[in-house]
């Protein structure tokens, strides 16, 4: 998918495609490292050649400005 989707008005989801498992795992680690740095952790669904990222703010069970900032930073990882 080329964009983030808003699901049920309460979370952001985007999937990223890769050419194999290893590249998807590498991206998972990049997102994980970013999440640790930001102190904000998405759910990451890793499968062969694909990573689905789900992002929301647990405390409010919905979306906060920080979710959109992290979404943009995750997108930046794919452009590096």
Q: Which residues bind a copy of itself (CB under 8 A)?
A: 21-22, 25, 28-29, 32, 35-36, 41, 43-48
Closer Cβ to a copy of itself, 24 or 63, answer by number: 24
Q: How far is the CB of 25 from a copy of itself (least distance, A)?
A: 4
* CA dist., res. 33 & res. 8, Å (int): 27
Q: How far is the CB of 66 from a copy of itself (least distance, A)?
A: 15
Q: How far is the CB of 17 from a copy of itself (least distance, A)?
A: 15
Cβ distance 15 to 48 under 8 Å? no
Ramachandran region of residue 14, left (φ > 0), alpha (ψ -120 to 50) or beta?
beta
* CA dist., res. 13 & res. 35, Å (int): 15
Closer Cβ to a copy of itself, 9 or 39, answer by number: 39
Closest among 44, 42, 45, 52 to 17, alpha carbons compared: 52
Closer Cβ to a copy of itself, 28 or 64, answer by number: 28
């Amino acid at each position: 998918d080329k964009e983030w989707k808003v699901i049920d008005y309460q979370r952001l989801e985007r999937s990223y495609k890769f050419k194999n498992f290893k590249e998807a795992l590498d991206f998972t680690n990049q997102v994980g490292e970013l999440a640790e740095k930001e102190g904000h952790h998405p759910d990451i669904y890793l499968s062969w050649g694909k990573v689905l990222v789900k992002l929301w703010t647990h405390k409010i069970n919905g979306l906060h400005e920080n979710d959109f900032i992290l979404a943009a930073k995750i997108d930046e990882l794919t452009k590096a």
